[in-house]
Amino acid sequence: MPSSAPSFPPFTPYVQHNRTPLPPRSNSRPLPASVSRILPFLFLGPVSATSNGPFLTSAHVTHILSIGKSPAPNPTAAAITYHRLGLLDKASADMAAVVAQSVAIIDAVERDGGVVLVHCSAAISRSLAVVAAYLMLRRGKTLRAALEELTRGGAVVAPNAGFLRQLGAMEESGVGGKATVEVGEGELEGTRRVGDVLGKAGVDE
């Protein structure tokens, strides 16, 4: 675990931006099996999605946010803006700084009317934890609600235990003032089953 409590960005009420409506995605191009659309302008996927030209084009992706994993070469995506933030998928890794930078990038993409793909290697731990933090900080979700929303979007929710504990600490310091998902020392290591995580969630009063 990090040696001190992570310092996450403050919770900010969501403000609807006047975005230019995006052209509809072609029905003939379904999302790649491993990519999830979490919000109209926010996709979550593995590194392989960064080289999927048809997906990037049909989804109108303007930004790629790489969490601890360099995007795959994609010579057809010259117009895409790339952001890379370093983060190891280890329980001892402090994700607070990466969350703060990621939230600022996602905020800017939404404000400017863009579309962002957030990815790591497999989109189950690092990038997923970052998107969960965004949903909590900007959309007012509890940790449990954020994980459930990601699951409904088709994501495989398997953050490492350290990330999950840090998200829980963030939740306790902001939304609701108490954790809705409890993870003890050593839990989830090597298993990472979302049912085990959500099964420990508390009930909001």
pLDDT tens for residues 61-108? 999 999 987 776 665 566 899 999 999 999 999 999 999 999 999 999
Catalytic residues: 120
Mind listing the domains of the chain with CATH numbers? 36-198 (3.90.190.10)
CA angle 34, 131, 42 (to 5 degrees): 65
Using the predicted structure, report yes or no on whether residue 22 has a pLDDT greater than 90: no
Residues 110, 35: Cα–Cα separation, whole Å: 19
Bridge-based pairing state of the strands 36-39 and 42-45: antiparallel
Collapsing DSSP to helix, strand or coil, 45 comes out as: strand
Instruction: Name the helix (H) or strand (E) containing 66.
Output: strand 63-67
Q: What is the pTM of this model?
A: 0.79
Using the predicted structure, report yes or no on whether residue 193 has a pLDDT greater than 70: no
Gyration radius (Cα) of the chain, Å = 16
Q: Is residue 37 within 8 Å of residue 43, measured between CB atoms?
A: yes
* Structure-token pair, residue 12: 């900010």
Look up residue 162 and give its amino acid.
G
Please state, as a whole number, how many other Cβ atoms lie within 10 Å of the Cβ of residue 119.
Answer: 29
103-160 pLDDT, tens digit each: 999 999 999 999 999 999 999 999 999 999 999 999 999 999 999 999 998 999 999 9
Instruction: Name the helix (H) or strand (E) containing 133.
Output: helix 126-139
Q: How far apart are the first and last CA of the chain?
A: 29
Nearest of 168, 55, 167 to residue 119 by alpha carbon: 55
Which pLDDT value is given to residue 179? 77
